[in-house]
Homo-oligomer: A and B are copies of this chain.
Amino acid sequence: MELENPYLIFLGDVPDALGAKTGLGIVDWRREWCVGQWRLDGCKADAGLPEMDAAEAARTGAKTMVVGAVNSGGQLPMHWVSSIVAALDAGMDVATGLHQKLADVPEIRDAAERNGRRLIDVRHSNEKFATGKGTKRPGKRLLTVGTDCSVGKKYTALALEKAMRDAGFDADFRATGQTGVFISGRGAAIDAVVADFISGAAEWISPAAEPDHWDLVEGQGSLFHPAFAGVSLGLLHGSQPDAFVVCHEPTRTKMRAVEHPLPSIREVIDLTIRCGSLTNPAIRCVGIAVNTAALDEAAARSLLDSLAGEHNLPATDPVRFGVDTIVAEIKTSFADA
């Protein structure tokens, strides 16, 4: 799916910043696409954008209103419906990552039809994917993989996009989850694809490109997560990465939502190379990204030094220390390619 920018970010009346995580993430990475924020009475989140409603945003040039807020349960609160209808009546598309489809609400469906605008449910792709082919495509690809879910795979891929562009690379972030799709304006929520088409969708997400172009593909789940490893493996095969970065959260003792312990970084590197070789025999690890938020700076540096030595790879916290060391490793590692 493709979203047209500029965006108006709708934050509803969420009670805290967590409820506006999607909207805040978009503003973090694509401030230049966001003309304003629309907040209802009682909203406790603030993305720091100019305040405006749908009519004003449309006058300012906004093409899509992104519902960047979520209430518990992922359902659409009925008191947000009139704002969505107003956005459609003002001539914008409306995009959400909610479980509930926008078109399932009759007033919204009618308003979209009346105005000839699109309702974009990022969790429910209408894209028809082919099954994967596994054939090598031109262009270079990097995939972020993890010891678990929610360990910074999206953040690391976005940080690499920025740092690689700054370093003169031709590089694009490729989204595989809903917030990522809003941030890149394109992509697919790969965990919502029908199982037969996981790797086919991944092939569509990072298509053939110029030989020195880098796609930075947002990873999902973990090959070691008993619920989601199938998604991770299909994404690995379809992305056919030349390079990967292992993302890790060192204070976590169990994988998310299950009782399993986290795998070691070494196990993740080994199994990623073994399975990834199927569609790219040259796959290699180029770095380790650790979320050290729970550690003080000395402890963080000590952990990263120790991991770097153990694996002979750059190890960094992308939030705290940036990803320049990984970009340098990519530059060296692919100097001859």
Contact = CB atoms under 8 A, between A and B. Distances in A.
Interface of A: 131-135, 190-196, 198-200, 223-224, 226-235, 237-238, 257-260, 271, 274-275, 278-279
Contacts of A275: 223, 229, 271
Given A233-B233, A271-B274, A227 B195 contact: no
Given A227-B200, A229-B234, A259 B191 contact: no
A195 B191 contact: yes
Nearest to A198: B230
A195 B199 CA distance: 11
A14 to B, nearest CB: 24
Given A194-B194, A195-B192, A278-B260, A233 B229 contact: yes
Given A191-B195, A195-B193, A196-B192, A231 B230 contact: yes
7 contacts: A134-B260, A194-B195, A195-B195, A226-B278, A230-B232, A233-B233, A260-B278
A230 B233 contact: yes
A269 to B, nearest CB: 14
A31 B227 CA distance: 37
A133 B195 contact: no
A73 to B, nearest CB: 15
Nearest to A201: B195
Contact of A228 (B191, B196, B257): B196
Given A198-B230, A199-B227, A226-B279, 16 more contacts: A132-B228, A133-B259, A191-B196, A193-B195, A195-B198, A198-B231, A200-B227, A224-B278, A227-B237, A229-B233, A229-B234, A229-B237, A229-B275, A229-B278, A230-B232, A271-B275
A131 to B, nearest CB: 4
Given A190-B195, A195-B191, A195-B195, A134 B233 contact: no
Contacts of A259: 133-135
Contacts of A258: 132-135
A219 to B, nearest CB: 13
Q: Ordered nearest first, which 8 A-B pairs have the shortest CB separation? A: A134-B226, A230-B234, A132-B227, A191-B196, A230-B230, A198-B230, A131-B227, A230-B233
Contact of A194 (B192, B257, B279): B192
Contacts of A135: 258-259
B134 A227 contact: yes
Contacts of A233: 223, 229-230, 233
Contacts of A131: 227-228, 257
A41 B47 CA distance: 68
Nearest to A258: B134
Contacts of A234: 195, 229-231
Given A192-B195, A196-B191, A230 B237 contact: yes
Nearest to A124: B194
A231 B196 contact: yes
Nearest to A257: B131
A260 B131 CA distance: 14
A328 to B, nearest CB: 32
